[in-house]
Structure 1
Amino acid sequence: MSDDIKFYRKFFDRLTRKSIIWQPYSPFEQMPEDCTQGIRIWDSVIPLLSLCICEWHQPDRVMRQFGCQQPIPNPPMTPAHVHALTLRGKADDDWTTILSLALEHWANRYAYHFAPTPPQVGLSCTFR
């Protein structure tokens, strides 16, 4: 283990609650433009598609990052069998047909925002 890793582990181990300022994101006005592209879908529960791969973007599971209270989230939307898929023998498959529901969902991505909750103020009772 390098000396740098030891230094930083010791540094982080010694931090106290008072020495950490929880500020997940800067105000949007201070962020570079390339960091705010796509802001209209940040809170959309939508599929992210790349060729034959479909993974769900589920910001409703991390609502505190958006300043909202976090209710108990729904189960993850990615079915377990998806992680076992391979592309072997599927060179001729039409992925636009296979992923048609996800593509339709993506086409309507601005309609799938999570329902906002009241703002999170301070730490929840489990973190006090």
Structure 2
Amino acid sequence: MGHLIKIICLLPIFVFFNCTEIDKHDKSRLYAKYEICSNLKVERYMVFGSGAFGGDLLSDYITDSTNFRKYVMTYDSSREKLNYKCEDKRIYIEAYNIEVTPRQLIKKDTFELNKLVKYRLFD
């Protein structure tokens, strides 16, 4: 009987989290902002706080604060990590699964700084 009561009490929580639409581009809660190379920053926004249920969902953007803000990706902070590297007017981004050893590369992307500035992209 006690097991049934637990299920009944927890059921609304699971229904709420599974039916709620998460806006991966929500920029209302700035989580962190840091420089990755000269005049380029990462803005990290919390789009969903999981609390005791797991890691937070974070969305990263790269920006020069004047000419562009480019969406990179949304990821679970308890499972994934992003690394940024600037080299030859390019920004290299690698996303890793940190739940396995060694870390597993799950996504790789490159942005050309000239194009971001030229097209003034604001995601």
TM bin (shorter chain): under 0.3
TM-score, with structure 2 as normaliser? 0.25
RCO greater where, 1 or 2, for CA within 8 Å and sep 6 or more?
1
**Higher share of residues assigned strand:** 2
**Higher share of residues assigned helix:** 1
Larger Rg: 1
